[in-house]
């Protein structure tokens, strides 16, 4: 390892340590947070019983993630699951229809 590599690794380690120690500090005045890899999102609200909301907050705290991020993840997982199930169901229906056509053709012959 060259001297430059060692110096760079030390600098990166020091920056990482500083960033971790100050991760909850407020942003400097005038700074704007950005999420360049995210598409624009829309707001969706719903009503929950207090015990449901408390349960979500408890799980999120235990996972050390924001509650809204956890719920968004749940929704995204369910959407993916439903889309997959819909695609599987559609393929099964297509196959059954094809089999029925083949059976009708066979019976008609």
Give this prediction's pTM: 0.50
Three-class SS string for the chain?
CCHHHHHHHHHHHHHHHHHHHCCCCCCCCCCCCCCCCCCCCCCCCCCCCHHHHHHHHHHHHHHCCCHHHHHHHHHHHHHHHHHHHHHHHHHHHHHHHHHHHHHHHHHHC
Q: pLDDT tens-digit profile of 9-56? A: 999 999 999 999 998 888 888 888 777 777 778 899 999 999 999 999
Q: Would you say residue 14 lies in a domain?
A: no
- By percentage, how much of the chain surpasses pLDDT 90? 45
Q: Would you say residue 95 lies in a domain?
A: yes
Q: Which domain holds residue 84?
A: 66-109
pLDDT higher at 24 or 1: 24
In this prediction, residue 1 carries a pLDDT of: 63
Q: Would you say residue 58 lies in a domain?
A: no
């Amino acid at each position: 390892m060259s001297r430059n590599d060692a110096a760079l690794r030390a600098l990166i380690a020091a920056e990482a340590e500083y960033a971790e120690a100050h991760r909850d500090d407020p942003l400097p005045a005038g700074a704007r947070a950005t999420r360049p890899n995210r598409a624009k999102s829309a707001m969706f609200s719903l009503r929950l019983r207090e015990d449901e909301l408390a349960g979500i907050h408890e799980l999120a705290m235990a996972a050390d993630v924001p509650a809204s991020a956890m719920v968004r993840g749940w929704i995204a997982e369910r959407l993916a699951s439903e889309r997959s199930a819909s695609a599987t169901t559609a393929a099964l229906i297509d196959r059954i229809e094809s089999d029925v056509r083949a059976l009708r053709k066979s019976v008609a012959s």
